[in-house]
Amino acid sequence: RLFSVLRFESVIHEFDPYFNYRTTRFLAEKGFYDFHNWFDEMAWYPLGRIIGGTIYPGLMVTAAAFYNVLHYLNLTIDIRNMCVFLAPLFSSFTAIVTYHLTKELSNSGAGLVAAAFMAIVPGYISRSVAGSYDNEGIAIFCMLITYTLWIKSVKTGSIFWSVLCSLAYFYMVSSWGGYVFLINLIPIHVLACIVTGRFSHRIYVAYTTVYCVGTILSMQISFVGFQPVQTSEHMGALGVFGICQIVSFVAYLKSKLSAAHYAIFWQALYYLNLWVYNINVQYIFTISIAGKIAPWTGRFYSLLDPSYAKNNIPIIASVSEHQPTTWSSFYFDLQMLVFLFPENGISNFFCDLFQFQYFNHLKMFLTIPPYQVRLMLVLAPVMAVLAGIGVNHILTTFMKNLDTVVVKDKKGLESAISSFIFSTHTPMTNICINYPQISTGVVLLVSVLLSLFASHSVWVTSEAYSSPSIVLSARGGDGGRIIFDDFREAYYWLRQNTPENAKVMSWWDYGYQITAMANRTILVDNNTWNNTHISRVGQAMASTEDKAYEIMRELDVDYVLVIFGGLTGYSSDDINKFLWMVRIGGSTDRGAHIKESDYYTPTGEFRVDAEGSPVLQNCMMYKMCYYRFGQVYTEQSKPTGYDRVRNAEIGNKDFELDVLDEAYTTEHWIVRIYKVKDLDNRG
Amino acid sequence: ISALLVVFATVCSCKTKQEILEDKVKQLTEWSNRRTVIQMNTNKFSTYVKTKPRNYSTIVMFTALDSKRGCSVCREANDEFTILANSYRFSPAYSNSLFFVMVDFDDGSEVFQSLGLNSAPAFMHFPAKGKRKGADTYDIQRLGFHADNLAKWMSERTEVVVRIFRPPNYTGTVVLVLLFSLAGGLLYVRRNSLEFFYNKTFWSIVSIFIVLAMTSGQMWNHIRGPPYYHRNPQNGAIHYIHGSSQGQLVAETHIIMLIHGAIVAGFIMLNEAHHPKADISKRRDSILYSSDQMFYSRYGLATPKEQIPYKLHFYGYWRTCLGCFLSQLTHVHFPTKVPRLSLQLPS
């Protein structure tokens, strides 16, 4: 998990983690109450954002707590390092918890194997590398510890463990929106126990406690608020809670009444139930009409029906995290666990039945359809646990025979093996036991598989999950690694050379980074809550200079920042994102004059060269990206102004900017910053 | 006299014009009653659509449906166009002033030439009066060929407003009904002994099947609907494995599902092999199976050079690694679906 620190340095990755980093810094400096009441005027200028009420604070609180404890012990660690290393730290906790979880489900040997799997499964590493300071990093730990404590409380039926479980659940709620998984999974487990007749006092005590305490605790998070009693996602848990009461009440009466009385009661209950059911249905119907229960959110629908997003919500469908999973990404993220985990279903057949084993199955069932890429994260622990149990089972059974019998001579063994493999008529009782070589073979095979899994995981981590994306790297002509540090260069320039109250306009992808690293006010950021505001920025980027100037004056913009990859070949730059700016810009009333078709050639292509649409070649984004680029040679045997991402010579080379001054361009031209000119001195 | 003659001639020609027009409309109505989309060749097209005296407008789809043309889009476009035509046929706006026509490239390549068309499918509107304008050619690049968009364009051009009525898709319902009746039937037949319902093996097999279906990417297939296999139009070679890392073909997932199934079976047998009740033949199988499995896994990590002889397996697995590498790079954030980083450096 520390590859990226070794290879680059201790930096925060990606985009969202920068926001988390900034808020953590605030929390560590100002304390919790200031953090809770924080109104952030540096984002979403001029609207601002209420930070305290719109985030899951678990991550920041955890990091700040560690930070304070360490400082109390006079270990003066930097807050940035705390943030960078928090996810790897928590993944080691996760491994320990996995051990305990699997131990509860099976035995300690399985626990050990599962913990080892959990430590290296790439699906989990992808979200817990150093620098990936995001909610998921600690959420998986919370999820597993809640599972563990839940199983513990079901096993013991004690209120103590149940309360601990609800505390773990509270921690989970405070750190990730994915807690909805838990609040649906546990009730389904209880329901399955009721249906299969395994409901007991222990489950009753455990579930009642966990539901009541957990729900009340979860409502303390201001971002969650009254959702647990108002939204459809949480209604299943409430329903199961009610069923629990009814079932245990009936069981109680049964134990107190004679058989004849119970029969009468049962009849009465039947009618009563009908009546109650009727009332319930009416009640639910009324309140959902009245809008008291929020309907399922779009994301939840897309979990149930995978084609929902595609047909109805393009913005959800377009996020690449929500893409469906191909078989290859399963293999990539789980490798051998893909084959190992189903066997547990069979091997359980031989075990005695315990209630909690149903839980295991359920978990498997529920997390099976991760047809969205990001859900792989939830699947990975389950796979690790199940595979751990399976591998442990194989190893323990075959290990036993490794040195029970000493083989007499080599020849005998060979003939035995050949008869074992090739012939069917030799009676072959106890060959495995008589010839430990077969056991050796199996054990060897499993060890080879395990070591392959380990090397696969290391390779995946090193190649795919360890690039911080704020520092870019590439292979040079001589095979050496070249580092592009343009982003930080530009942000640092902004920090040092602009007035403190300057407002920077950029596309929203870079909002969090600019506020965190340059400490300047921005218009839009990655928390895309206000579509019209983003649209306004999109309109400025897509308009001609004079139109854009009006918008920029209106929004008080001082600097404009664009990302340009034409010189280095960095392909996720603003020109490639430009069509989204046009689409989003044109999606509101004020941007009705921006039409996507204007930015295409008559044949419907998006081109930057001389054949490209003139509207495109005169818009702000084009001019800001390609200003002075027409005089630069980028590749041998190509004319000046050759864009290496689009592989084309740009169409509009000679132009001057009227309303902007070029303020700064980084070493590799990846970030370009422009200053918006003041109004003319006309008097 | 000459004036009279002229008048007479014009009246005559008018009459014949009228007659021709009536004939044409009659003919077209007859055709469109038979099939809502009238298929035309070059001759018919020039008489009924191009030649002037007409009081009806036509919506023409130019397409290439022959399978040897390899135009899969054309078939989808054809379906949408038929839906549009049928919706028009059964809508209150139906009259004999608008007809739907289809010209296949193999029947009327001259038409394609005369209109300067070099791609299919294309949609055009031929108005009853006046010349064709730019907007009479439907912009398929931008608007796609969805029937709703076609109808919108049509209403702009002809002022005939049609509500698209799609024949409902009953397959899902039928499958569900079948499934329920099967399950119900099974329960009814076995109503005296419902123990199997509590049988763990039964549930295990069900769950393993679901797991295999999911891990082999059937959900992806369900959402994206890739073709079963891909045929190279140049040399006719058939590919069962998708070339890029971001996609997959249905055949490929079935192969993967089989391989995974075999490996899983091997592991289950390994588990079972040592159980006292398991019989010996299973044990032997299990050992064989697991050695299979070892090979697969080895391929998974083999270097590209080693891969060549065992093309099928590892091509898949290896590409996986590369593919996911890319897909993971792009996994965060928004619409920008371009790879996060593909740097080229000045040499």
DSSP string, A109-158: HHHHHHHHHHHH-HHHHTTTSTT--SHHHHHHHHHHHHHHHHHHHHHH--
Question: Cβ contact (<8 Å) for A327 and B253?
Answer: yes
Question: Which residue, A619, A638, A429, is CA-closest to A541?
Answer: A619
Is residue A166's pLDDT more than 90?
Answer: yes
Question: Cβ contact (<8 Å) for A306 and B334?
Answer: no
Interface probe for A, chosen from B271, B299, B322, B330 (most Cβ of A below 10 Å), is B271
Enumerate the residues of chain B whose CB falls inside 8 A of the CB of residue A467: 329, 340-341
Distance from A600 to chain B by nearest Cα, in Å? 10
Local confidence band at A88 (pLDDT 50, 70, 90 cut-offs): very high
Q: Do B230 and B123 share a domain, yes or no?
A: no
Q: d(Cα A528, Cα A511) in Å, to the nearest integer? A: 10
Length of chain A: 683
Q: Is the dihedral of CA A99, A101, A106, A107 positive or negative?
A: positive
**ipTM, 2 dp:** 0.71
Residue A642 parent element (H or E): strand A642-643
Other CB atoms within a 10 A radius of the CB of residue A269 amount to 16
Using only C-alpha atoms, what is the Rg of chain B? 31
Residue A494 parent element (H or E): helix A486-497
Is residue A462's pLDDT more than 50?
Answer: yes
pLDDT in the model for residue A460: 85
Q: What is the mean pLDDT of chain B?
A: 69
Average pLDDT over residues B145-153: 80
Other CB atoms within a 10 A radius of the CB of residue B346 amount to 13
Q: Is residue B46 part of a domain?
A: yes
Enumerate the residues of chain A whose CB falls inside 8 A of the CB of residue B291: 445
Residue B139 belongs to what domain range? 2-158
Is residue A317's pLDDT more than 70?
Answer: no
What percent of chain B stands above pLDDT 70?
66
Average pLDDT over residues B203-213: 75
Q: Is residue B186 part of a domain?
A: no
pLDDT in the model for residue B311: 33
Enumerate the residues of chain B whose CB falls inside 8 A of the CB of residue A321: 331-332
| Tokens 């009806």, residue located | B56
Q: Where are the domains of chain A?
A: 1-114, 138-257, 485-676
Terminus-to-terminus CA distance in chain B, angstroms? 90
Average pLDDT over residues A466-474: 80
A·B CB contacts under 8 A: 260
- Three-class HEC string of A260-290: HHHHHHHHHHHHHHHHHHHHHHHHHHHHHHC
CA dihedral B26, B31, B37, B40 (to 10 degrees): -90
Q: What is the mean pLDDT of chain A?
A: 80
Residue from the list A331, A332, A442 with its beta carbon closest to the beta carbon of B290:
A442
Q: Do B11 and B143 share a domain, yes or no?
A: yes
pLDDT in the model for residue A436: 67
Is residue A565's pLDDT more than 60?
Answer: yes
Q: Enumerate residues 6+ apart whose C-beta is below 8 A from B273.
A: A432, B282, B283, B286, B287
Residue from the list B332, B335, B347 with its beta carbon closest to the beta carbon of A14:
B332
Question: Cβ contact (<8 Å) for A368 and B214?
Answer: yes
Residue from the list A420, A635, A644 with its beta carbon closest to the beta carbon of B284:
A420
pLDDT in the model for residue A428: 39
Any idea what the Cα angle at residue B195 is, between residues B192 and B200, rounded to 5°?
160
The residue among B205 and B314 whose pLDDT is bigger is B205
Question: Which residue, A96, A35, A25, is CA-closest to A67?
Answer: A25
What percent of chain A stands above pLDDT 90?
19
Residue from the list B301, B330, B345 with its beta carbon closest to the beta carbon of A455:
B301
Is residue A278's pLDDT more than 80?
Answer: no
Tokens of A16: 């969202």
Q: Is residue B341 part of a domain?
A: no
Average pLDDT over residues A483-491: 89
Average pLDDT over residues A380-399: 81
Largest pairwise CA distance in chain A:
110
Residue A478 DSSP one-character state: T
Tokens of B339: 């790879």
Local confidence band at B298 (pLDDT 50, 70, 90 cut-offs): very low
Distance from B134 to chain A by nearest Cα, in Å? 12
Any idea what the Cα angle at residue B82 is, between residues B77 and B83, rounded to 5°?
100
Q: Do the bridges between strand B57-63 and strand B98-104 make them parallel or antiparallel, or are there none, so unpaired? A: parallel
Is residue B55's pLDDT more than 90?
Answer: no
> What is the per-residue DSSP string for A338-371?
HHHTTHHHHHGGGSPP-HHHHHHHHHHHHHS---
Question: Which residue, A400, A599, A159, A612, is CA-closest to B142?
Answer: A599
Tokens of A36: 């809770």
CATH code for residues A485-676: 3.40.50.12610
Is residue A89's pLDDT more than 90?
Answer: yes
Enumerate the residues of chain A whose CB falls inside 8 A of the CB of residue B201: 346, 349
Q: Is residue B37 part of a domain?
A: yes
Q: d(Cα A101, Cα A98) in Å, to the nearest integer? A: 5
Q: d(Cα A59, Cα A260) in Å, to the nearest integer? A: 58
Distance from B308 to chain A by nearest Cα, in Å? 19
Average pLDDT over residues A180-194: 82
Q: Do B143 and B251 share a domain, yes or no?
A: no
CB B77 within 8 Å of CB B145: yes
pLDDT in the model for residue A228: 86
Hey, which of A490-499, A581-590, B154-163, B166-175 has the most confident mean pLDDT? A490-499
CA-to-CA separations, B323 to A370, A617, A683, B245, B265, in angstroms, rounded: 18, 35, 62, 4, 27
φ, ψ at B243 (rounded to 5°): -70, -35
Average pLDDT over residues A433-449: 76
Average pLDDT over residues A61-76: 93
Question: Which residue, A437, A430, A392, is CA-closest to A413?
Answer: A437
Q: d(Cα B41, Cα B111) in Å, to the nearest integer? A: 8
Which range is least confidently modeled, A221-225, A631-635, B216-220? B216-220
Question: Cβ contact (<8 Å) for A325 and B220?
Answer: yes
Number of domains in chain B: 2
Average pLDDT over residues B143-154: 79
Q: Which residue of A has its CA nearest to B143?
A: A597
Is residue A275's pLDDT more than 90?
Answer: no
CATH code assigned at B40: 3.40.30.10
Terminus-to-terminus CA distance in chain A, angstroms? 62
Q: Is residue B178 part of a domain?
A: no
CA-to-CA separations, A389 to A99, A109, A220, A366, A442, in angstroms, rounded: 11, 8, 37, 19, 17
Residues B227-272 pLDDT 10s: 787 777 777 777 777 766 667 788 888 888 888 888 878 777 776 6
Q: Is residue B132 part of a domain?
A: yes
Residue A619 DSSP one-character state: B
Interface probe for B, chosen from A326, A349, A455, A567 (most Cβ of B below 10 Å), is A326
Local confidence band at A427 (pLDDT 50, 70, 90 cut-offs): very low
Question: Which residue, A468, A466, A461, is CA-closest to A11?
Answer: A468
Q: Give helix A159-175 / helix A201-218 axis angle, nearest 10°.
A: 30
Question: Which residue, A486, A600, A614, A590, is CA-closest to A537?
Answer: A590
Q: d(Cα A509, Cα A216) in Å, to the nearest integer? A: 36
pLDDT in the model for residue A470: 83
**Peptide linkage before A46 cis (omega within 30 of 0):** yes
Q: Do B25 and B151 share a domain, yes or no?
A: yes
Q: Do B205 and B320 share a domain, yes or no?
A: yes
Q: Do B146 and B23 share a domain, yes or no?
A: yes
Which range is least confidently modeled, A468-477, B31-40, B188-197, B319-328? B319-328
Question: Cβ contact (<8 Å) for B301 and A329?
Answer: no
Question: Which residue, A272, A232, A234, A228, is CA-closest to A253?
Answer: A272
Q: d(Cα A331, Cα A338) in Å, to the nearest integer? A: 7
> What is the per-residue DSSP string for B72-132?
HHHHHHHHHHHHHHHHHHTSTT--TTEEEEEEETTT-HHHHHHHT--SSSEEEEE-SSS--
Q: Do B18 and B153 share a domain, yes or no?
A: yes
Q: Is residue B62 part of a domain?
A: yes
Q: d(Cα A640, Cα A634) in Å, to the nearest integer? A: 7
CA-to-CA separations, A341 to A385, A392, A632, B204, in angstroms, rounded: 8, 12, 56, 12
Q: Enumerate residues 6+ apart whose C-beta is below 8 A from A680.
A: none
Q: Do the bridges between strand A49-50 and strand A39-40 make them parallel or antiparallel, or are there none, so unpaired? A: antiparallel
Any idea what the Cα angle at residue A5 is, between residues A4 and A8, rounded to 5°?
75
Residues A542-562 pLDDT 10s: 888 888 898 898 888 999 999
| Tokens 């059974």, residue located | A397
The residue among B216 and A373 whose pLDDT is bigger is B216
Q: Is residue B321 part of a domain?
A: yes
Q: Do B150 and B204 share a domain, yes or no?
A: no
Is residue A313's pLDDT more than 50?
Answer: no
Residues B84-119 pLDDT 10s: 888 888 877 787 788 888 888 888 888 888 887 777
pLDDT in the model for residue B40: 85
Question: Cβ contact (<8 Å) for B341 and A475?
Answer: no
Number of H helices, E strands in chain A: 32, 11
Q: Which residue of B has its CA nearest to A572?
A: B340
Interface probe for A, chosen from B169, B219, B248 (most Cβ of A below 10 Å), is B219
Which range is least confidently modeled, A358-367, A532-541, B23-32? A358-367
pLDDT in the model for residue A112: 93
Average pLDDT over residues A631-649: 85
pLDDT in the model for residue A167: 95
